Amino acid sequence: MTGGARILVTGGAGYVGSHAVWALHDRGDEVVVYDSLRQGHRQALPPAVQLVRGELADEAALDRLLSNGPWDGVLHFAALSLVGESMQRPFHYLLENAGLGIRLIDACVRHGVKRFILSSTAALFGNPETMPITETTRIDPGSPYGESKLMIEQTLRWADRIHGLRYACLRYFNAAGADPDGRSGEDHHPETHLIPLVIDAALGLRPEIRVFGSDYPTPDGTCIRDYVHVADLAQAHLAAFDRLDQGSVTYNLGSGTGHSVLEVIRSVERVSGRPVPVRMEQRRPGDPAVLVADSARIRADTGWTPRFTELDDIVGTALRWRQAHPQGFGPNDPAA
Ligand SMILES: NC(=O)c1ccc[n+]([C@@H]2O[C@H](COP(=O)([O-])OP(=O)(O)OC[C@H]3O[C@@H](n4cnc5c(N)ncnc54)[C@H](O)[C@@H]3O)[C@@H](O)[C@H]2O)c1
Ligand SMILES: O=c1ccn([C@@H]2O[C@H](COP(=O)(O)OP(=O)(O)O[C@H]3O[C@H](CO)[C@@H](O)[C@H](O)[C@H]3O)[C@@H](O)[C@H]2O)c(=O)[nH]1
């Protein structure tokens, strides 16, 4: 499909979701966003896109929206997504993410939705013994967050087998960067992700960056992650959506290169031209040492390939967005 689809996007006002909404909008799809705005921002969306403000837990509201079809697909971004927080609040994560995700899939099946895309995660794999991580690497979530996404993936398998719902499970590694045209960026409250925090430390918006663990079995002792540009993730959703013509799919999505926490800090220093004050701290519970994706499957199936392969370029888009929005998007209009 090259535009013209009608798509419901849960969590579409959030970081990854808003970039996907812009990509759908750019190709001419009709998008409706369902988001509580507890993390999302109206200003992150194309002005022409309809935002329905609501909670996933509000079954009646979702039923009303889904009955106002037909919908060509649902993209499901709305979730709690912090590995560390899920180690402190396991049942909150399992009930919110898995519980509400399963209810959404049930509602989609009841309303005849044919395609469903899930924001899944590298956190399914725990601490894998071999790198890079393919779709057949053993699944062993290292946190309740990862477990909650696995439960939704498994629900989708049954929804396809029994009801013919075509699904794509997109296991993102670490989403990073901002829209190259500056239309959206990363603005969480509180912010916990490494790159925006390091950028704020470089810009003097925070006193320092705390490095969680320097005794990991990696060359410099800090964790290694695969930072994949959020605009590349957005394009992967379009590619996967179209590929569903041929059946359900599961893809690992990364740039294929790992960078340590210290390498990210050096990159921000290079790109911003400013020093970053660093404080070494204890490990954060739930953090695996290394997560790097093998994305050969989506490349072979769809021709998707990341446009941003250099960490400095990814960091550069995030830095430009932050310099243009030092206060973030600002408060949401209560009437939004
Ligand atoms: N950011 C990453 O690096 C990353 C990596 C792997 C997977 N993911 C997954 O991608 C998705 C998006 O992540 P993000 O970083 O954009 O997060 P985000 O917090 O920026 O976006 C989530 C959006 O969903 C909305 N939302 C959350 N719970 C809701 C609820 N119960 N009802 C209605 N709306 C709700 C929030 O207001 C927000 O706009 C999540 O499912 C996350 O687990 C993210
Ligand atoms: O102040 C900080 C913040 C992070 N880190 C480290 O930086 C790395 C990246 O951390 P963060 O940016 O918080 O992302 P992750 O915990 O790796 O999780 C992200 O990436 C996962 C996929 O790999 C997704 O599933 C999650 O939703 C998403 O939050 C980790 O090693 C952290 O320990 C620090 O050292 N200091």
pLDDT tens per residue across span 55-77: 999 999 999 999 998 999 999 99
N- to C-terminal Cα distance for the chain? 31
- Closest ligand by atom to 17 CA: 1
Does the CB atom of residue 145 touch ligand 1 within 6 A? no
CA-CA-CA-CA torsion sign (296, 301, 305, 311): negative
pLDDT tens per residue across span 192-206: 999 999 999 999 999
The conformational region for residue 45 under phi > 0 = left, psi -120 to 50 = alpha, else beta, is: beta
Q: Distance from the CA of 93 to the center of ligand 1, in angstroms?
A: 12
Pocket probe mutation, ligand 1, options 77, 153, 184, 230, max atoms within 8 Å of Cβ = 77
Q: What angle do CA 245, 72, 48 make, to 5 degrees?
A: 130
pLDDT tens per residue across span 245-279: 999 999 999 999 999 999 999 999 999 999 999 99
Does the CB atom of residue 11 touch ligand 1 within 6 A? yes
Dmax over CA atoms of the chain, in Å, equals: 56
Contacts of 327 (CB under 8 A, 6+ apart): none
pLDDT of residue 3: 77
Does the CB atom of residue 36 touch ligand 1 within 6 A? yes
- Closest ligand by atom to 230 CA: 1
CA distance 277 to 274: 10
Q: Distance from the CA of 185 to the center of ligand 2, in angstroms?
A: 17
Q: Helices (H) and strands (E) in the chain — how many of each?
A: 11, 14
Give 332's pLDDT tier (boundaries 50, 70, 90): confident
For residue 179, pLDDT over 70 is answered with yes
In this prediction the ipTM stands at 0.99
pLDDT of residue 331: 83
- Preceding omega of 190 cis (within 30 degrees of 0): yes
Q: What angle do CA 143, 145, 150 make, to 5 degrees?
A: 95
Q: What is the DSSP letter of 99?
A: I
Question: Is there a catalytic annotation at residue 172?
Answer: no
For residue 2, pLDDT over 90 is answered with no
Q: Exposed (0-12), middle (13-18) or buried (19+): which is 28, by Cβ within 10 Å?
A: exposed
- Which H helix or E strand runs over 274? none
- Preceding omega of 70 cis (within 30 degrees of 0): yes
DSSP class per residue in 38-90: SS--GGGS-TTSEEEE--TT-HHHHHHHHHS---SEEEE--S---HHHHHH-H
pTM for this prediction:
0.98
